[in-house]
Structure 1
């Protein structure tokens, strides 16, 4: 099968498409025939060597949508089911940017009804990150939340999930994205120096400037593990480290089916065009996710 890997670190030119053996599922695992797989900033980080693994061939891709193709013992899934899943891990020999992917059975959920594989592939990593970040913030309904990077993939899901919970959401985004973030559920855009929020979800990775917008005794959560600023003024700081969670993913799929979460695709690329997709991601300004299709 074909798979997207990096053998040396660097820019988009480091991305390779290689031929490799089809992986076999073990106990409590399933193999998915990949219908589509989203490209995320974490894949660029792996490509650049941010997470280590020098001298190894590293597979790219965390998100996957497709069809169950084979099952291991006690997997609990049936060949032919349409599913989505998160394949967690920065240093792994194969990712989801491939024709087939093996994932743990408890990381899998049924695909959202009515959504094709391309759109479904945008759910696992970004929606789970947003949901788990909101869990860390513990923002009660009616309290105020600022989401930075609100027009991005994680930020957009965070705005929708928070608004659905009855949280008063303010977006930090470009003026050009004002209509977009309001359509996702943000009540308004933040002013240049506005602060005093009960909590901040820093999807734009602004760090201390975002922390300054939290009221004394509030909460800050970032999206890069270990990179959150130090606590100040009694503000609790943390960073989400996304976890594969099939049950939670199923809940998020349910919200997709109810229209609470919007699936946004910025563009599609054939698997053989993976380097081009990485180059587009590096340009910035992507609204939604770029998706690879084998």
Structure 2
């Protein structure tokens, strides 16, 4: 089968279309004929060799954490409500022996796979699992009562956009930041108030509240400066490590602020969480944004475009 992978780490030019063995589903597993794989920032880090996923010998590294397609094989004895021909979406962990989702077929435990949302295309569905689960894990850890005030940074991006919409679906007041060109988008996603992004954003969030927000979902990785927006005994969820984690933890502790790390792999195999995202998207409460599509031969172009910044929605590869 065809896959997009790399035999050495480096820039986008190392990506190539490769022939790799076709996997088969074993007990407890299903195989997806992948039609679409989303291109995420994590894929560019894998490609560049900036993650623990390393190329070893002649075996290629295959990136890709989100896929959508159709079930084309079910392993013997697998207890699942899925059937051959069903349209599904899934998150893929690229550290597994078969690699990531940039491939014509992937085999996964059936608990990793969920039906596509009602009314969604496969391309749209492929944008949801990784970023939706990341945002959901952040909000689940914050565990705030309905009606709380949450600020979201990077709200025009994939994780930030889902965090904004999930917070609204949970009944919270949501403040968000945006560049001028992104204000209409962020407002359309449901933000109650939108402030200019950039230096001083914490002060602008705080001006909209009496004592500070109850929590922040920091999808823009601003870190320490955001603590000033949060009330004492509030919380901040971050989606990637900040440059100086020790100073960050000390500054938060000094203000009585709880830090939580949104780590998507805590939700590996959580079909219940995928089903929740599926339901909310099917109800129109999560917008699924596809920015552009690329054939596998143009994967390098997709990586270059993503790394250049400013992409709104997800780029996807069509197999």
- TM-score, L = length of structure 2: 0.88
Structure 1 residue 189 and structure 2 residue 194: aligned? yes
Q: Give the distance between the partners of 1:22 and 1:187, measured in 2 at CA.
A: 48
Q: Is the Cα–Cα contact under 8 Å of residues 94 and 101 in structure 2 kept in the other structure?
A: no
Q: Give the distance between the partners of 1:259 and 1:90, measured in 2 at CA.
A: 33
Q: Which of the numbers 238, 248, 262 marks the counterpart of 1:222? A: 238
Q: Deviations over 1:66-90 (max 9, x none)?
A: 1001111324132111111111244
- Which runs of no fewer than 5 residues in structure 2 stay unpaired? 207-211
Q: Give the distance between the partners of 1:45 and 1:67, measured in 2 at CA.
A: 28
Structure 1 residue 50 and structure 2 residue 55: aligned? no
- Which runs of no fewer than 5 residues in structure 1 stay unpaired? none
Structure 1 residue 236 and structure 2 residue 236: aligned? no
Q: Give the distance between the partners of 2:89 and 2:284, measured in 1 at CA.
A: 18
Distance 1:211 1:16, change over 3 A: farther
Q: Give the distance between the partners of 1:92 and 1:273, measured in 2 at CA.
A: 25
1:111-260 equivalences in 2 (<5 Å): 111-190=116-195, 192=201, 193-194=203-204, 195=206, 196-224=212-240, 229-230=248-249, 231-232=252-253, 233-242=255-264, 243-244=267-268, 245-260=270-285
User: Would you say how many aligned residue pairs link Structure 1 and Structure 2?
Assistant: 294
- TM-score, L = length of structure 1: 0.95
Q: CA RMSD in A?
A: 1.7
Distance 1:221 1:278, change over 3 A: same
Q: If each structure's helix is expressed as a fraction of its own residues, which one has the higher value?
A: 2
Q: Is the Cα–Cα contact under 8 Å of residues 54 and 61 in structure 2 kept in the other structure?
A: no
Q: Give the distance between the partners of 1:138 and 1:174, measured in 2 at CA.
A: 29
Q: Is the Cα–Cα contact under 8 Å of residues 92 and 101 in structure 2 kept in the other structure?
A: yes
Q: CA deviation at 1:53?
A: 3.6
Q: CA deviation at 1:226?
A: 8.0
